[in-house]
Structure 1
Amino acid sequence: MNELQNTLRRLLRVVIGGRWGVFAWSLSGASALAVILWGLKAVAIPLLMIKTASWGIWGLGVIRESKLRTPIRP
């Protein structure tokens, strides 16, 4: 059972993207908050740039975590 929990924890960390993923999710949340506060028309172009950057950061985090967490088998 402990092995299953460790595997699930590792997979969750990969899906989130580790530290880089948490940063990307925060950046995405901040952009959603900006849309709520100032409206979509006011932040449309910066929103596209922030969303593109956050998806890229998240993707890098997922790749990094998946490579770090892969067990090496002899």
Structure 2
Amino acid sequence: MAKIKEKLGRWLRVAIGGPMGIIAWGISGASAMAIVVWGLQTVALPLLMLKTASWGIWGLGVFRESRAKRENPPPKV
């Protein structure tokens, strides 16, 4: 059962994107709040730039986390 829990935790970390992914999720949340506060027409272009940046950061985080798993496999018991 511990192996399954460890695998699920690892896959969740990869899906989130690790520390870089958390930053990207924060940027995405901030842009969503900007829409609520100022409206879509006011923040359309900055929103597009923020969303593009956050998706790029998230993608890099996912790539980095998936490579970390491949380079440092867990020890076999």
Q: Do both share a fold (TM > 0.5)?
A: yes
The alignment covers a number of residue pairs equal to 73
1:50 CA drift (Å):
0.1
> Which letter does structure 1 place at the counterpart of 2:6?
N
Give the TM-score taking structure 2 as reference length: 0.91
Moved over 4 A (4+): none
1:72 CA drift (Å):
7.3
Match of 1:31 in 2: 31
1:69 CA drift (Å):
1.8
Match of 2:57 in 1: 57
Task: Output the CA distance in 2 between the equivalents of 1:42 and 1:36.
Answer: 11
CA deviations 1:31-61 (Å, max 9, x no partner) are 0000000000100000000000000000000
Task: Output the CA distance in 2 between the equivalents of 1:67 and 1:5.
Answer: 20
1:17 CA drift (Å):
0.2
Give the TM-score taking structure 1 as reference length: 0.94
RMSD: 1.4
Identical pairs, percent = 59
